[in-house]
Amino acid sequence: MKGFASLSASIGLSWALTLICGCSSPVVLNQDSTSPQTFVVGDRFDLELSENASTGFSWSLDDFDDQVLSLVADELDVGSTEPGAAATRIFSFECVGAGATEIAGHLERGDEEGDSFSIDVTCQ
C-alpha cells in the first residue's frame, strides 16, 4: 500500500501544480502525426522533427496562419557531438486565436528537398 499512497500523492501533486500554475507538459507532435489536432487558445505544443546537420539538410516550415498560431521557439537539440549523430529540431507553437491552419514543412538543402510533413491544427 505504501507504493500506492506514494503514487496517489504524486498524481495529486501533479494535478495541483497544473491547476495552480497552469503548468502541464506540452503536447508533442512529430512528422508522423497525421491526424488533425485541436487545441484551446493559450495552449502550447511542440513539433519535434528528426534532423541530421551533417547531411546539410535542415527543416523549413511553410507559411501558416499567424492569427491562429505563433511560433515561439525554433531549437536544435543535439543528442551527441559525434559526427553524423542525429538531432531533433523542435518548433514550439502557441495557439493565439481561434481558427484553423496547416503546419507544413520539408527538409531542404539548398534547392534540394527531402522529406515533408503536413498537420492540420485547429485552435478553439
What tens digit of pLDDT does each residue of 64-73 get?
999 999 999 9
pLDDT value at residue 67: 98
Q: Is residue 64 part of a domain?
A: yes
Burial of 69 by CB count in 10 Å (0-12 exposed, 13-18 middle, 19+ buried)?
buried
Burial of 59 by CB count in 10 Å (0-12 exposed, 13-18 middle, 19+ buried)?
buried
Q: Is residue 53 part of a domain?
A: yes
**Can you give the CATH number for the domain in which 94 is found?**
2.60.40.2020
Residue 50 CA to residue 58 CA, distance in Å, equals 9
Q: Is residue 47 part of a domain?
A: yes
| Number of independent structural domains in the chain | 1
Q: Is residue 17 part of a domain?
A: no
Beta strand 58-61 pairing with 99-109: antiparallel
Q: Is residue 2 part of a domain?
A: no
The string of pLDDT tens digits covering residues 20-74 is 334 455 789 887 888 999 999 999 999 999 998 788 899 999 999 999 999 999 9
Q: What are the phi and psi torsion angles at 9 (to 5°)?
A: -65, -40
Q: Is residue 115 part of a domain?
A: yes
Under a CB-based contact definition with an 8 Å cutoff, are residues 103 and 82 in contact? no
Average pLDDT over the chain, rounded to an integer? 81
Q: Is residue 13 part of a domain?
A: no
Q: Residue 82 sits in which domain range? A: 24-123
Which residues are 76's β-sheet partners?
89
Q: Is residue 15 part of a domain?
A: no
pLDDT value at residue 2: 42
